[in-house]
Amino acid sequence: MRPPSVFANGPGSEITRLRALLRGRWRQARRAVMVLLSQHGMAAAEIGALLGCHPVTVRRWVGRFNAEGIAGLADRPRCGRPRLGGPGSPSGSPRCWPARGRGPC
């Protein structure tokens, strides 16, 4: 059975701040897009198809926005060690370079 439709609702000031998040970090920007499209009446399945994610993911973020506001769209702390490297680093971490024959010098 499909869950009922969930639509975002929030005060105008939160929506203005939400639009400002579109220029911020990409994960929060994507979540802001989900909420804004939901506010305009798009169903979770439509938003998921548009953004390439599952409708359950859309419902989760819209639900967190409804419960916590913009703060609910931020990443929560995760357990475990942070990943090494990042999108701006070459393949792998610097620790792995000598093993591949590529040193920093």
pLDDT number for residue 72: 92
Q: Is the pTM of this model over 0.85?
A: no
* Residue 102 belongs to some domain of the structure: no
Mean pLDDT for the chain? 78
pLDDT number for residue 48: 93
* Residue 69 belongs to some domain of the structure: yes
| Side chain identity at residue 21, one-letter code | L
Exposure string (b/e) for 40-78, b if CB count within 10 Å is 16 or more? eebbbeebbeeeebebebbbbbbebbbeeebebbeeeee
* Residue 39 belongs to some domain of the structure: yes
Cβ neighbors of 105 (< 8 A, separation 6 or more) are none
* Residue 47 belongs to some domain of the structure: yes
pLDDT number for residue 75: 84
Confidence of residue 3 (pLDDT cuts 50, 70, 90): low
Side-chain half-sphere exposure of 89, counting CA atoms within 13 A:
12
* Residue 91 belongs to some domain of the structure: no
Give the total number of structural domains in the chain. 1
* Residue 100 belongs to some domain of the structure: no
Confidence of residue 100 (pLDDT cuts 50, 70, 90): low
- What's the pLDDT tens digit per position in 17-65? 777 776 667 888 899 999 999 999 999 999 999 988 899 999 999 999 9
Domain carrying residue 22: 12-73
* Residue 38 belongs to some domain of the structure: yes
* Residue 35 belongs to some domain of the structure: yes
The percentage of the chain sitting over the pLDDT mark of 90, rounded to a whole number, equals 36
